[in-house]
Structure 1
């Protein structure tokens, strides 16, 4: 009995030990490069992430669409039934007027717009008031900088419902709804990557510059806002048509219909914001303000996805904070810096780990598929390293290989859906019904749902012209600076073996035989190594050619010297006044008059001053 108990105890102990061993040999989980890198980051305590609902609210297109529709359709002359006594409204508008540089005076049109907004859009204003907490501090800072009334911040609600991605039917874009040309006028960049009209900071700066310039022209803030909507030229026309009146309410009927409701919408928005409590409008609370974010200049192109992976921040939040970037990519231009806006804690993490972040971006860039020529270069470099003989070439010369286009036929498949027929399928793939039937061995024109049909098509690919390439390797162009010539020590008759060389190539290059090379260097096999020095003697036929060349050269020099001597003998004489052939012959001993006449093809002895006569034949 005791032995049985001990046996059971030992089995239990063995099972426990086995279990412990199993626990100990758990496979080690390998971390990715990204996870390993992030584990070394200097981290900060981060506030709770912006929730998904708030991010959607900040980029809500519905609010903008409704606001744009209201301003376009509201009939400011039509009475609206809403519980707001006219006398009370007049009293409140008077108080607003006392605090504002705008001309806020009661009139029935303004009352109708205020009541329309209160009746139809109270919930929308609650939502926009929460978004206002995010943008208004930044607006007020810029408006104060340009000495512009702070109430102008309400204009962004009328313009875009505070959506930086808002785009009107005519192309106006951003919080302040800049048209393309006006944005360019105020240095807002627009290209494939960037649209600075959607940048809250830069667009607000541009808007302030516009307001300041227009106030310098009109000297009235009501007209400045009207000009922002319709343009200063149209405001000037309305003033002229009214006979020189300059109060907005007096010239309103001479403006476009949209502009007639524009300033009332602005003033109605201001009223609702100032008296929201009195009307039971309770704004939602913004979890993040613009001043709780920070910007960093980027030194390398990066995508929102990469930033999201590195900093654990949702891509949607990056879009919200950086509406300027159209492709979810922060570009890098050498001539103009670009910035990324992040919550302050994430900005601190980015700044503290900048080197590691850029190292990861480079790692990601190196993983991208390279252009064809680069791949070919690396492949040939590998072949060269393996010593594959004559097919190996200097890497610098790879890019000179000619390319040729080759057509290849490829096949893809189409799964037939209910209602499909051969005619529609052929049109979709730009082929004929006959081709479809041929490729799929079809006898009839009918096809069944779920059936897979072959679709053949031709594509053109670029490949290296290997024939030309091999010829180029065998016959290097000495004059081409790209070709890496083997280093030969001419004075010592030595050749230094390059990587990829073999005896056949070296022998052909120096016009000798492989046996001669082996004999001069006491070699038994054909094996050679890079860096090895080989003795290369001049072949007999080449030596003979050199001697013949030298002899020919000397003959040319001899002939040229003879010509030079003959030329030096030849003299020309210019006839002077009073000369005769007899006196000229006398001046040159050994020369007769007959010889002078013969050398110069003259029959008579008549000569004139200035004539040139040969004296040496």
Structure 2
């Protein structure tokens, strides 16, 4: 029996080596970076990854012209500086395909799919003005901090990844039931120590990492260029003043407002929170000189309405009229109470909804696009005057969050 097992194991290893060719060493390197025992290469679950390559290449690597991919060099740099496994770049891909607007049915949001409670625990602000789960830099730093905490708690990177996906408690219970931390056992489909989604999750990260290291594949695609492009195509962090309007900044640095709004999707209404003396926003690195030379704080009179309080007015009534929250009016006017006086002057911020023009790519559906941007299919159809679900490759769709 032992002899038969050794022959089978040898055959599997030869098959894997022939199938992946010179990338066999990359497989071993990826597994080791996640603290996975190299014997996992003979695991049937690992071998099954090969069958999923074609699907992952289509759904994750063919759409590299998406604006979301501008964040890749920055995410890669932050991961490298934090000295955590580079494989976690592909965790972001598995979580959201690098989309700031990605939203799960459990209300996780952003590139790293943070739930509100976890986001706040790791320093991300969610309030009337911002949702920093959509901030490409701050959310990545929070994810790194969380992964380091999970690694310290569980001792192995693959367990940190599993806990990130399914929760600490679920992984602790799985280890107790299995009486081991061995990955082969924990993701055993028959034992079901972990949910199917989590068992697939670790395989998916490894699969994406393997594709990401396939040089022959990337000679035929744009992803290698995007992955390794220089600082000229990455993000620059600049300081804007409270109340600054993104459209005004875009005009100052001669860039389309839609581009700057997309880079700063964490700003809910297209302006910097009024409570901030200075607040980080993102511009393309190639526009940094323009910003330093031409940036001017927004003219608040142009960006906001000046409103005089009338008899019968209340903060709630005024807020309802302009479709904003009463807290927003209080913050902008630095009011200490809800009591208003007749003829009192108030500054009312007028939110401009973020408009995005999306070009349909191969494999897209109205459902997949709506999920990516966190809107309903019905709203997407209405915005684009669609009578049915048919879309064409190259077609432009208007999306308003």
Shorter chain as normaliser: what TM range? 0.5 to 0.7
1:351 maps to what in 2? 292
Query: 1:235 Cα shift?
Result: 0.8
1:224 maps to what in 2? 160
Partner Cα distance (2:82, 2:342) in 1: 62
Query: 1:174 Cα shift?
Result: 0.8
1:315 aligns with 2:257: yes
2:268 maps to what in 1? 326
> Any idea what SS the aligned residue of 2:241 has?
coil
Q: Please list the CA deviations of residues 10-43 of structure 1 after superposition, one character each: whole Å capped at 9, or x if unmatched.
A: xxxxxxxxxxxxxxxxxxxxxxxxxxxxxxxxxx
> Any idea what SS the aligned residue of 1:266 has?
helix
1:337 aligns with 2:278: yes
> Any idea what SS the aligned residue of 2:126 has?
coil
1:302 aligns with 2:272: no
Q: Do the aligned partners of 2:251 and 2:257 also contact (CA within 8 Å) in 1?
A: no
Superposition pairs of residues 202-241 of structure 1, within 5 angstroms: 202-241=138-177
Structure 2: runs of 5+ lacking an equivalent: 1-13, 312-339, 345-401
2:102 maps to what in 1? 166
Aligned length: 290
1:246 aligns with 2:184: no
Query: 1:215 Cα shift?
Result: 1.1
Query: 1:232 Cα shift?
Result: 1.5
1:483 maps to what in 2? none
Query: 1:400 Cα shift?
Result: 7.6
1:146 aligns with 2:77: no
Partner Cα distance (2:308, 2:168) in 1: 53
Partner Cα distance (1:175, 1:290) in 2: 22
Superposition pairs of residues 185-204 of structure 1, within 5 angstroms: 185-204=121-140
Query: 1:259 Cα shift?
Result: 0.3
Structure 1: runs of 5+ lacking an equivalent: 1-83, 375-398, 404-617
Q: Do the aligned partners of 2:74 and 2:234 also contact (CA within 8 Å) in 1?
A: no
> Any idea what SS the aligned residue of 1:153 has?
helix
2:33 maps to what in 1? 101
Q: 1:298 to 1:109 in 2, by over 3 A?
A: same
> Any idea what SS the aligned residue of 2:265 has?
coil
Q: 1:227 to 1:129 in 2, by over 3 A?
A: farther
2:305 maps to what in 1? 368
1:181 maps to what in 2? 117
Q: Please list the CA deviations of residues 221-246 of structure 1 after superposition, one character each: whole Å capped at 9, or x if unmatched.
A: 1111111101121111111111x211
Q: Please list the CA deviations of residues 35-81 of structure 1 after superposition, one character each: whole Å capped at 9, or x if unmatched.
A: xxxxxxxxxxxxxxxxxxxxxxxxxxxxxxxxxxxxxxxxxxxxxxx
1:258 maps to what in 2? 197
> Any idea what SS the aligned residue of 2:237 has?
strand
Query: 1:291 Cα shift?
Result: 6.0
Q: 1:261 to 1:222 in 2, by over 3 A?
A: same
Query: 1:131 Cα shift?
Result: 6.8
Q: Please list the CA deviations of residues 161-203 of structure 1 after superposition, one character each: whole Å capped at 9, or x if unmatched.
A: 0101111110111111110000011110001210001111111
Partner Cα distance (2:342, 2:83) in 1: 66
1:111 aligns with 2:47: yes
Q: Please list the CA deviations of residues 447-478 of structure 1 after superposition, one character each: whole Å capped at 9, or x if unmatched.
A: xxxxxxxxxxxxxxxxxxxxxxxxxxxxxxxx
Of stretches 146-155 and 265-274 in structure 1, the one that deviates more from structure 2 is: 146-155
Query: 1:254 Cα shift?
Result: 0.5
Query: 1:256 Cα shift?
Result: 0.9
Q: 1:132 to 1:151 in 2, by over 3 A?
A: farther
TM-score (structure 2 length as normaliser)? 0.64
Q: Do the aligned partners of 1:127 and 1:283 also contact (CA within 8 Å) in 2?
A: no
Residue from 257, 273, 290 that aligns with 2:212: 273
Q: Aligned-pair RMSD on alpha carbons?
A: 3.3
